[in-house]
Amino acid sequence: MSSLKWNSSAQTHTGYVRQHNEDAYLDAREQCLWVVADGMGGHNAGDLASQIIIENLVTFHPQQDMTKSVDAIEQRLIAANTQCRKNRTGSHTIMGSTVAVLYAQDEFCFFLWAGDSRIYRLRNGSLSQMTEDHSLVQEMVNMGEISQTEALNHPSSNVITRAIGVRDQLFVDIEYATADKGDRFLLCSDGLSKELSAEDIAQTMSSTPVEQASKTLVQQALAKGGSDNITAIVVQVGY
């Protein structure tokens, strides 16, 4: 648990194109744990995968040693990966999901993720992306083959290179940062990050109360087309 005070809000929407919402989220403020999962796979496999992730994390309880807490979260994600692999209905069925986790303990924030769901931090009006997409276009950007701007509309922009449930062995990226009073974090599925620019996100997070910010961001993404499921969690330090 963090010694700082935290506030948060969460919102999800199916969007205007897809029939089902395969996103899922966890807004567990008392445990200082927030999660966004973006499921994928036909015949409801995606929403099952994202729900499996949430079910594995909803019973998490922090430990005194923060490294043990983070390890426990990672182990629950690995367990979710195993469940998704076992629950596939056929040898070629995909039951997978991205995941982005924000966990706070003492004055530290930990970010765990697989896939292209993102975590942003707004500090003193400046927006930073705390995660790096596990995606084909991000690999192309890293190799200098395309620019970050070209990646936005690239035909392979929806191809992810890592997710829960896709392979037998799961690799989760883990990073950490200190938390300052006034910091705000956004966890979101790509249904939001592909519709709104960094400038849009920074403006809304800077000017909107945290209790309304997640709803406002989702509404703005819907206004841009709502071509995918949209989920946002906004978290504030020291409210």
* Domain ranges (residues) in the chain: 6-131+164-237
pLDDT (tens digit per residue) in 37-96: 999 976 678 999 999 999 999 999 999 999 999 999 999 999 999 999 998 866 557 899
pLDDT at 4 over 90: no
Over the stretch 159-192, which tens digit does the pLDDT of each residue have?
Answer: 899 999 999 999 999 999 999 999 999 999 999 9
Which pLDDT tens digit goes with each residue over 189-214?
Answer: 999 999 999 999 999 999 999 999 99
Q: What confidence category does residue 2 fall into, taking pLDDT thresholds of 50, 70 and 90?
A: low
Q: Which pTM was predicted?
A: 0.94
Q: What is the pLDDT of residue 92?
A: 52
Long-range pairs for 200-206: beta carbons < 8 A, 24 or more residues apart: 201/120, 201/127, 202/122, 202/125, 202/126, 202/127, 205/120, 205/122, 205/127, 205/234, 206/122, 206/125
| % of the chain residues with pLDDT over 90 | 79
pLDDT of residue 239: 55
Q: Report the topology of domain 6-131+164-237.
A: Phosphatase 2c; domain 1 (3.60.40)
Collect all residues with Cβ–Cβ distance below 8 Å to 202 and sequence separation of at least 6: 122, 125, 126, 127
What was the pLDDT predicted at 43?
62
Indicate the pLDDT class of residue 121, thresholds 50, 70 and 90: very high
What is the structure's pLDDT at 130?
98
pLDDT reading at 6 higher than 80: yes
- Residue, of 110 and 106, whose pLDDT is higher: 110
Grade residue 142 by pLDDT with cuts at 50, 70 and 90.
Answer: confident
**Which two three-digit tokens encode residue 10?**
């969460």
pLDDT at 1: 58
The secondary element (H helix, E strand) that includes residue 135 is: none
| Three-class SS state of 107 | coil
**Mean pLDDT, to the nearest integer, of 23-41?**
96
